[in-house]
Structure 1
Amino acid sequence: MVTAAAQDQWRLLDVQAHDIRLTQIAHKQRSLPELAKIAELEKKLADVDDVLIKARTVATDAARDLTKAEGDVEQVRQRVARNQARLDSGQGNSKDLQAIQHELESLANRQGVLEDAELEVMERQETAEAAVRGATEKREQVVAEVAVVAAARDKALEALTDESDAEAHDRENAAAGIPKDLLALYERIRESNHGVGAAKLYQRRCEGCRMTLPPNDLARIRNAPQNEVVRCEECSRILVRTAESGL
């Protein structure tokens, strides 16, 4: 059986109040609205990155296709220029010149087809580059929003950390001088009872589990010495007796 002076038992209530506040602060730190917002924005950013990667891939493919299309058109143009020069020079017999003329007509058709293909690729590239610009701007917007929310989160966490540090300091002062065996009992009970190891007995009710004590328990506590550490039969928490216990 653990015994302690009544005033030491009363001090447990101060320690408990600080522990409850520390738990509340820790919960606030874990559940800041900014944390949920950042998680939402990070998912949004990942989606934008996926879109940006796909847009860049399409733009790269289009650029490669355009380079090839431009090369194909240039080759035909150079051949047309050479043949036209030969034709204009009048070099060769009539059969050769006629063949050159036919080839020029064929090359003109070929050039038209290639230029149409080149124009189509250019349009595809422009569309892809516009998509890249749009996704890039969207990403920059989301990144900027993340920065704003992260700054708000850091500010809130800093304030909560300062509050937690002050509360921990006050808790340490409140616990100083409490007998070690009483404090150890309190800590053991607190760990297994949702952070509450001691509660006030108020108007015959345990403030830990909110249960009104039956007559036999009240009689037991009423007859116990003031230095005896009594506990609630329902929740096992330390019951601290005060003038308002209703005994």
Structure 2
Amino acid sequence: MKADPTVQRKLLDLAALDAELARAEHRRRTLPEQTAVEEAETVLRARRDAVVRARTSVSDLGRDVAKLEQEVAQVSAREQRDRGLMDSGSVSAKQMTDLSHELDTLARRRGVLEDSQLEAMERLDAAETDLAHEQAALEEAETVLADAVERRDGVLGDIEVIETRRGAERTELAASLPEDLLALYDQQRARSGTGAGELIGARCGACRLEMDRSELRDIAAAAPDDVVRCEQCGAIVVRTSKAGNA
């Protein structure tokens, strides 16, 4: 294949653009900012689950307290009714004795219920404190995630700017190259990641390996417009003033 040496040197610019685009793509795939977002999302899910559990506990304990309050109120009402009957003087002596025994039983029952109510209220207070703590932790996790997303999106925006600009430059540069030369370059780039490299001394700029004297002599003997390739990696070898002599 033949190509004007000036045109061949454009391949170095194309390779530089492709390398920058490849770095941008690699950075996009391996963003530590994305990892931070994923970790923050994991923490946020855990915090949300904790809040749900805490709210459920508060709700359950609230129902327990309400039920005990109702039972205490029912026992108290029964006590008031019995005392009212005893105070009315309209009951017999036997009924008075029965009412007195019932009041003793009701008093003991009310005492047990009030103790249970107090214990339930203490547990409810602790659960509400726990809920407030979990809610604060959730809000903090939401803030951390929002900050992580903002940082990630900022980096992604910078990458997108690079990809857009360099992509446009590559399209323009590629359009100025002969189709057969560009096809060869793209084929090699797809195979090894680098389509062309500058010959610097005896080293191929694509694979960074030293060429032997025989290969260097063949390159030196090639016509300036010959498209030569590295025997080791297959990349197009672009000859400039930096090339070595066999």
| Common topology (TM > 0.5) | yes
Give 1:28-47 correspondences, 5 Å limit.
Answer: 28-47=27-46
**Counterpart AA for 2:207:** C
For 1:224, which of 212, 222, 226 is the aligned residue? 222
| 1:181-211 Cα shifts (integer Å, max 9, x gaps) | 1111111111121x21111111011111111
Partners of 1:159 and 1:208 lie apart in 2 by 27
Kindly report the root-mean-square deviation, in angstroms, between the aligned alpha carbons of the 2 structures.
Answer: 1.4
Partner of 1:181: 180
**CA positional deviation for 1:239:** 0.9
SS at match of 2:143: helix
| 1:94-138 Cα shifts (integer Å, max 9, x gaps) | 000110011001100000000100111111111111111111111
Partners of 2:244 and 2:150 lie apart in 1 by 51
CA contact (8 A) 2:188 2:194 kept: yes
SS at match of 2:199: strand
Partner of 2:128: 129
| 1:128-162 Cα shifts (integer Å, max 9, x gaps) | 11111111111111111221222222222222211
Partners of 1:84 and 1:232 lie apart in 2 by 111
For 2:211, which of 203, 210, 213 is the aligned residue? 213
SS at match of 2:198: strand
> If the length of structure 1 is used for normalisation, what is the TM-score?
0.94
SS at match of 1:239: strand
Partners of 1:141 and 1:211 lie apart in 2 by 53
Partners of 1:139 and 1:192 lie apart in 2 by 49
Partner of 2:199: 201
CA contact (8 A) 2:40 2:148 kept: no
Identity %: 37
Give 1:129-148 correspondences, 5 Å limit.
Answer: 129-148=128-147
**CA positional deviation for 1:52:** 1.4
SS at match of 1:25: helix
Unaligned runs of 5+ in 2: none
> If the length of structure 2 is used for normalisation, what is the TM-score?
0.94
1:12 matched to 2:11? The reply is yes
**Counterpart AA for 1:168:** G
CA contact (8 A) 2:61 2:123 kept: yes
**Counterpart AA for 1:132:** L
Partner of 1:240: 238
CA contact (8 A) 1:90 1:97 kept: no
**Counterpart AA for 1:183:** L
Partners of 1:5 and 1:162 lie apart in 2 by 33
- Count of paired positions: 245
SS at match of 2:237: strand
**Counterpart AA for 1:207:** G
**Counterpart AA for 1:204:** A
CA contact (8 A) 1:196 1:237 kept: yes
**Counterpart AA for 2:113:** L
**CA positional deviation for 1:21:** 0.8
Partners of 1:101 and 1:9 lie apart in 2 by 114
**Counterpart AA for 2:215:** D
**CA positional deviation for 1:49:** 1.7
SS at match of 2:226: coil
**Counterpart AA for 2:52:** I
Partners of 1:87 and 1:190 lie apart in 2 by 104
